[in-house]
Amino acid sequence: MSLSPIKIEVLETMLLSNKPQKAMEIAKQTNREFNPVMMHLLGLVRMGNVNVPEKGLYIITEKGKTVLGIPKITKEKAQAILAYMPHEKAFNFYESIDKPLNIHAHNLRDFANKIIKVDQTSIQFHTQRNDFEAWFRGIGDTELTKKINILKKRNTSGEDLRNQLHDIIEQRYLTLAELSGQPIPPEDQHTHTHT
């Protein structure tokens, strides 16, 4: 069964958050009225696309992610996504065409650490060219690719874009590290968010 555009938008908003949210927060993020969003949320709960971990909080389920075209991740797949990439497959940050910054990300954790430090012009350059999505797709992370596409649809820019990219990538790294059984370094266990 296909979902209405509003239900898809609600699911996409929940996917970006990665944590339980109140219906009012979801309505605000989708720029929609509370009542219709609440109605769609209840429908999504009935369909099994959204869970209610505690009264008044909603979170997307694996089934909800599948509706958005995101496959379930196994431990092996998580390990493959987190693997160290050789230099020729690393993400290379550029300021513009033919202007490399000589900053490279060899895996997801490395990418999260570098995105917070690279020049803003580099982030805009790569965002406009869909380079981030291409690299995430290349390492096999459909969910992260989808999250970046959703973020771009919201026309986020500047430091807000940088911070949201960092937070999304950092959270994805932590989720995959936990799933894969990879130890999480102490400095990554107390992540902060900018939003």
Of the candidates 155, 12, 109, which has an alpha carbon nearest to the alpha carbon of residue 70?
12
127-179 residue pLDDT tens:
999 999 999 999 999 999 999 999 998 888 889 999 999 999 999 999 999 99
Span 15-43, average pLDDT:
94
Residue owning tokens 């696309």:
49
Read off the tokens for 186. Answer: 């102490």
Residue owning tokens 């509370």:
34
Read off the tokens for 85. Answer: 């990439």
Read off the tokens for 24. Answer: 């009012």
Using pLDDT thresholds of 50, 70 and 90, give the confidence band for residue 183.
confident
CATH fold of the domain at 5-67? Arc Repressor Mutant, subunit A (1.10.10)
Span 53-81, average pLDDT:
95
Question: For position 49, what pLDDT does the model report?
Answer: 97
| Residue predicted with more confidence, 8 or 1 | 8
